[in-house]
Structure 1
Amino acid sequence: MSDSRTKFYLDPQNGKWKGVCAGIADYVGIEVLWVRLAVAGLMIVGQQWWILLAYFVMAWIVEPKPSALYHDRADQKFWQGVRANPTRSTTEVRAKFRDLDRRLADIELHYTSRNSSLAKEIDSLR
């Protein structure tokens, strides 16, 4: 896949205007409503009017998210976790592989050990 899953994209499918807030929400893995409320709150209550300029610049510069970037919701959550904390993500992947390796070693030990009842079952299936 040529599209980077860790890159920031606009999300016009889930966005209201250009998808900037939806893109930020997708990138950090939070609900888009909270991003919209934070932007509106900073602009109105905090008098941070530069956010409006930043919004337009981002809408102009950033490219939209490809439609087939994620395979499913679990894939999307995984990549949001990678963006949030890459070290934790690699640790989780290593732990899953260690668990799979341990389980495969247990299966191999079970089949290669001298288990007479298992040998009888296998012979009865032939």
Structure 2
Amino acid sequence: MSGYLTTHVLDTARGCPAQGLKIELFAIKDDSRVRIKTLVTNADGRTDEQILPAKSFATGTYELVFHAGAYLDAVGTPPEAPRFLDIIPIRFGMSEAAHYHVPLLLSPFGYSTYRGS
């Protein structure tokens, strides 16, 4: 089995997928971050392609950066100055060639993630 990486973002405050949310993927090497890809979620709250497909997969430490503040602004969530949640980084390790699914459950004042399937 080849490894690959996916995500799914759900807006739990509005009860719907988070469409139009920008996501960046970084590889973490020692003390540096190397941006690999930038994607935007579709109407289902997923990306149109795998974040890290099998042909590019490598084990290691990665970071997904979710641009929650811009998304919350775009959907009309009342603004704060500054927003409680703006940029949400999730750093995680992939230790085997498997499907890694890193979903984000998002609201203006909290979030949750887990290793999904």
TM-score, normalised by the number of residues in structure 2: 0.20
Structure having the higher Rg: 1
Name the structure with the higher helix share: 1
TM-score, normalised by the number of residues in structure 1: 0.19
Name the structure with the higher strand share: 2
